[in-house]
Amino acid sequence: MVLQIIPDGPDRTREIWDFYLETAEPNEAERDSIRYIDEVLQVEDIALVESVQRGMRTPAFTQGKIVFDPDGSGLSEHAVHHFHGLVLDAYRRDLGRDRS
């Protein structure tokens, strides 16, 4: 699956999904997976993003663009935060700027 997220105005985003399967038509397991992405993951992600965007417009906003809760409440994006740190470290090493 390739997901394109395209800004379409200050308060609107368009998504385009492309699924690449081994056959022209999805099998039952693939249909179930696509349905799960659409009905569960997307619903959760959209609610999270909308909540973050509302919060970023308030005077109480003190974080970056990733929801990060060091207390581990489960209401954060620790995996994304960690992955971005790994990418940054790899870039620094590649550029000879290893700060570790």
What tens digit of pLDDT does each residue of 13-63 get? 888 989 999 999 999 999 999 999 999 998 888 888 888 778 777 887 766
The DSSP bridge partners found for residue 15 are 5
Q: What is the pLDDT of residue 57?
A: 78
- Of 22, 51, 26, 55, the C-alpha closest to 38 is 26
Q: What is the pLDDT of residues 52-97, one digit of tens each?
A: 778 777 887 766 667 777 777 777 777 887 888 899 999 999 888 6
- Tell me how far apart the alpha carbons of residues 10 and 90 are, in angstroms, rounded to a whole number: 32
Query: Model pTM greater than 0.75?
Result: no
How far CA 85 is from CA of 45, 55, 88, 89, 98, in Å, comes to 21, 23, 5, 6, 13
Model confidence at 100, pLDDT cuts 50, 70, 90, reads low
